[in-house]
């Protein structure tokens, strides 16, 4: 039996947390070898700087930011691996550092670069080991094993040694193991890292399904913004240890000016000479891609503009790729 957690609490609540790390600096000079050993220089890095965040039960939240922004540190604090230097954290109403063992029965954590599988044993042995150690009831284990085997296509690899799996197979097996005890909340640090297009789509479909059908709360980090947009309803962006954006993906696009793209194909192959308010960003074999700010140039005005150019034979209007929006945002943060 799982110990009970409070039902009406948010999935997680972070209140004003700061995390400082102490980093020892050593020079690479051979003449500093003694100094490096006895008096290495100390540097304090503020990985998280007074962060507050709430996630409701059943939400699917993307947690993103540039390298070193503080994502993994947050996940480690939320799962009780690290303690914040200051501030309070509550996950399903529990204190992750104090109630770690109780909490682990309700959550699942994946660090995409690491594996929980037993390296020199078939995958199924790791699963059965978890069942014994975690005391997972037979019926729950069987139901979850059938579900993950089917949805993550595991039947071919259950009897394979973990060390013989490809990266994508290993990731699927790790996610499967994470779900065997029916966690209510899962933290996934880069679950699509290194997956091929098909494996990625399968993983994304799977995560959306368990969020929708089992109401599992999901917090996922990734550097792939397209993946995140496909999966999550909400995106929280972290920059230098601070929350810099919290909203949905369309709101995020609006932060950078509500940019849209329009792709025009012309019969002559030439780009229309002047389209005020639109910037030509790419042109190739008679296909011309422009960017415009929908808040400045509304879509009906764009259509009116295009009607003056009979040589246009095809038009496609789309939102700016989220990767580009976020890249511009990171750049603007770096410059400030
Ligand atoms: N164990 C540690 N000891 C000292 N400093 C650390 C430690 N772990 C992380 N840091 C520092 O904390 C900051 C945030 O690191 P963190 O790993 O949380 O970033 P991240 O957003 O997950 O980055 P990435 O996208 O590159 O994985 C970085 O400046 C990093 O150097």
Residue 315 Cβ contacting ligand 1 at under 6 Å: no
- Report the pLDDT averaged over residues 173-201: 92
Beta-bridge mates of residue 221:
63, 189
Q: What Cα–Cα distance (Å) separates residue 214 from each residue in 103, 201, 209?
A: 19, 19, 8
279 has a pLDDT exceeding 50? yes
* Nearest atom of ligand 1 to the alpha carbon of 223: 25
Residue 51 Cβ contacting ligand 1 at under 6 Å: no
Ligand 1 atom 3, closest CA: 21
Ligand 1 atom 5, closest CA: 21
Q: How confident is the model at residue 8 (pLDDT cuts 50, 70, 90)?
A: low
Q: What is the ipTM of this complex?
A: 0.97
Q: What is the pLDDT of residues 315-333, one digit of tens each?
A: 999 988 888 888 888 888 8
Q: What is the pLDDT of residues 215-242, one digit of tens each?
A: 999 999 999 999 999 999 999 999 999 9
List, in sequence order, every beta strand (DSSP E) within 112-162. Answer: none
The SS3 assignment for 12 reads strand
List of domains in the chain:
12-252 (3.40.50.300), 257-319 (3.30.70.250)
Q: What is the pLDDT of residues 94-114, one digit of tens each?
A: 999 999 999 999 999 998 778
- Do the beta carbons of residue 191 and residue 222 sit within 8 Å? yes
Ligand 1 atom 6, closest CA: 21
What is the pLDDT, as a whole number, of residue 254?
Answer: 83
- For the chain, what is the mean pLDDT? 89
Kindly state the helix (H) or strand (E) to which residue 151 belongs, with its residue range.
helix 138-151
Distance 278 CA to ligand 1 centre (A): 40
- State the Cα–Cα distance between residues 201 and 187, nearest whole angstrom: 19
Distance 240 CA to ligand 1 centre (A): 10
From the CA atom positions of the chain, what is the Rg in Å? 24
- Report the pLDDT averaged over residues 297-307: 87
What is the pLDDT, as a whole number, of residue 206?
Answer: 92
Ligand 1 atom 30, closest CA: 68
């Amino acid at each position: 039996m799982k110990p009970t957690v409070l039902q009406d609490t948010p999935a997680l609540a972070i209140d004003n947390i700061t995390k400082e790390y102490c980093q020892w600096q050593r020079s690479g000079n051979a003449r500093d070898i003694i100094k490096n050993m006895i008096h290495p220089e100390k540097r304090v890095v503020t990985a998280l700087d007074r962060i507050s965040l709430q996630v409701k039960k059943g939400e699917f939240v993307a947690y993103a930011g540039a390298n070193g922004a503080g994502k993994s540190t947050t996940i480690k604090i939320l799962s009780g691996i690290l303690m914040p230097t200051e501030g309070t954290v509550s996950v399903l109403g529990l204190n992750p550092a104090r109630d770690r063992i109780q909490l682990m029965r309700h959550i699942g954590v994946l660090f995409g670069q690491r594996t929980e599988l037993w390296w020199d044993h078939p995958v199924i042995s790791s699963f059965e080991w978890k069942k014994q150690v975690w005391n997972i009831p037979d019926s729950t284990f069987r139901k979850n094993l059938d579900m993950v085997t089917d949805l993550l296509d595991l039947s071919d690899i259950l009897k394979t040694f973990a060390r013989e799996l490809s990266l994508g197979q290993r990731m699927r097996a790790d996610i499967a193991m994470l779900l065997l005890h029916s966690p209510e909340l899962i933290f996934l640090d880069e679950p699509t890292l290194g997956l091929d297009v098909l494996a990625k789509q399968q993983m994304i479909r799977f995560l959306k399904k368990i969020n929708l059908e089992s109401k599992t709360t999901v917090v996922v980090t990734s550097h792939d913004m397209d993946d995140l947009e496909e999966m999550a309803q909400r995106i929280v962006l972290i920059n230098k240890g601070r929350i810099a954006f919290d909203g949905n993906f369309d709101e995020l696009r609006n932060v950078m000016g509500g940019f849209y793209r329009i792709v025009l194909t012309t019969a002559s192959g030439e780009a229309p000479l002047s389209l005020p308010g639109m910037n030509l960003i790419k042109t190739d074999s008679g296909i011309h891609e422009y960017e415009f700010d929908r808040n400045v140039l509304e879509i009906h005005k764009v259509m009116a503009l295009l009607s003056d150019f009979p040589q246009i034979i095809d038009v496609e209007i789309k939102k700016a790729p989220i990767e580009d929006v976020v890249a511009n945002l990171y750049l603007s943060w770096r410059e400030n």
